[in-house]
Amino acid sequence: MRIIETSLPGVLVFEPQVFGDDRGWFFESFRQDMFEQHAGSHRFVQDNESFSRHGVVRGLHYQKPPYTQGKLVRASRGEVLDVAVDIRKGSPTFGQHTAQLLSENNRRMMWLPPGFAHGFAVLSDSAVFSYKCTGYYAPTHDAGIRWNDPAIGIDWRLSEQEISLSDKDLRQPLLHEIEPLELTS
């Protein structure tokens, strides 16, 4: 497995080695020992999966302490632009983001440790997106940042006419309106 560092310390891309022939292909989608070697020790407690059509933007989402989540994400079908935004209090990269293409073809996964807001845009006709989470979903601590905040400046690689958002995501606050996450561990 190849490990790719991003512009945000701690946010990593895992690219598996694929073995294939005329019968098909095989790859290890997750190895705890390899993950821990590069991302540290984390316990995954919940797996989520979503289906979305072209142009759907989901995010930017996170959970407030004490229910923060780390996420290991991948597109098992289709192609998405996956985005992490640093919202850690006192971080030298606070408010900066990284955007990575995750697809069924490149089979890459992105690790977002606690302290990062997360979102993705579906660039293909549709996509199935999977998350391994280190914390349970806690609706009382659910939070977000507006997808098009100019202070963050994400290029979602879609025209504004193509983008489809939930009512919740349309109403999220701007980055300067949130309280940065203070992580204790």
CB 79 within 8 A of CB 101: yes
131 as an active site residue: the answer is yes
CB 166 within 8 A of CB 58: yes
Active site residue 61: yes
The helix/strand/coil state of 170 is helix
Q: What angle do CA 16, 17, 22 make, to 5 degrees?
A: 125
Per-residue burial over 67-93, b if 16 or more Cβ lie within 10 Å, else e, is bbbbbbbbbeebbbbbbbbbbbeebeb
The catalytically annotated residue of 42, 61, 97, 118 is 61
Catalytic residue among 67, 97, 131, 141: 131
Strand ranges, E, within 105-176: 109-112, 116-122, 126-133, 142-144
Residues 6+ apart with CB under 8 A from 140: none
Catalytic residue numbers?
A: 61, 131
